[in-house]
Structure 1
Amino acid sequence: MTDRFLLMGQNADLITRLDRLSKRAAWTFDQVTTPTGLVVELDHKRPAGIWWDLDASTLDTAIATMTLVRPQVHGPIIAFTTKITERIQRKLYQARVDDVVTFPFTDRVLRALIKQRLWLYQQVQDSTPKVLTKTASPRVITIGHWQVDYQNYRVLKNDLPVELTPKEFQLLSYLIDHRNQVLSRDQLVNGVWGYDILNTSRIVDIHISHLRDKLENDPHHPVHLLTVRGFGYKLAE
């Protein structure tokens, strides 16, 4: 099976080098150009790893985003940069980045590095014991014309299935668990993505918008997924 990576960056030279390297190693990659775009892509895809061009964003944004998505990425995160300091390296490794590669780099060495990291993650996954869990009791919540089946991760609207991404389902579930409560964007990020970090309000707004498009009869005049201006969002029954 071909390993597919996710590249965050716009550097033409880096893209060319990685494209040439990937063809030789029988890999492939998808490109995103913004940190928010990467977060959204991870809701739909499970890449073998992430390649991040540090010159394509500020360091604080890169670290915040990589910290946010690290639990979703079960493979290596490799950062590329034209300049590096001990402080930057320390902050990147604290964000659980696997490797920091500086320009210029040797294709053959980078290929060997990535292969080793893929092998290591595979060993960890193969050695993880399979835990038997008890079957959860059925739990279906009704909100207006929606039925949310927690056990089967399924949502119906007017008895018709609605396709949600895993993160959209998590966000909807969190809102339902706190229905009729006003939740700030920071609370939603912390509760759904698991990290209390800055510069993530856009991520919440995007996911709320997607939920409205899929669930509300009129996304521009929602009945349940409400905006509370100056505070955040709430789910009204």
Structure 2
Amino acid sequence: SFICNDTGALLQAPQERFQLYNDKVVKFSVRELSDVKRVSSHHLRLLGFKPLDCLKDYHNLSPSTFIYPSDEQIFGSTRVFVALHSSMLRLGRFALAFYGTPTRPRLVALVAQEEVISSSGQDEPPGMHMIYLPYSDDVRYPEEVHLTSGDAPRATDEQIKKASNLLRRIDLKHFSVSHFANPGLQKHYGILEALALGEDEMPDIKDETLPDEEGLARGQE
């Protein structure tokens, strides 16, 4: 703060920060410093593309988000999205982008999903899965404990052979997630139905994602 010599009024000067660089004082205003710290906006910011084999299973630490275009806000976004989507599928690439709040951005991977249509209709829609990538300290390597130990358990050749036979027998060739109803949605629909009909009891919801205990018990007999 400063005092004017003529009027005696208190003058508020804008705050400034500085950084010594190459023996020179580089000044920053509060707004400039805020812009420097702002890594990303709330929108997706495309950084580049990488081969799909660079994306590992352990990179997916949280549920992904499925995204698709809309021309309601930005006209022509669908055309750009379709061109990008088809190119990523053809070249086997995924997109690397910034996403998140301005002060806490996240690196995300955009993986294109091809449309799957069967005789019953559309099984999987076209779009992209936005996978939230982990930071370096989010990835753990528990196997390193056994790298120098001779007591680490190892499967025998017979055990590996039996496990391979088991995997081949339970291979689901025509599996699709659409074959099973979402138990959470079914429970929600059941509550709405009970409220609409004025029923006091909730209908029984069969969770088709749970193991078939009766079938497993019959197989062990």
TM-score tier, shorter chain, comes to under 0.3
TM-score by length of 2: 0.19
TM-score by length of 1: 0.18
Answer 1 or 2: which has greater helix percent: 1
Answer 1 or 2: which has greater strand percent: 2
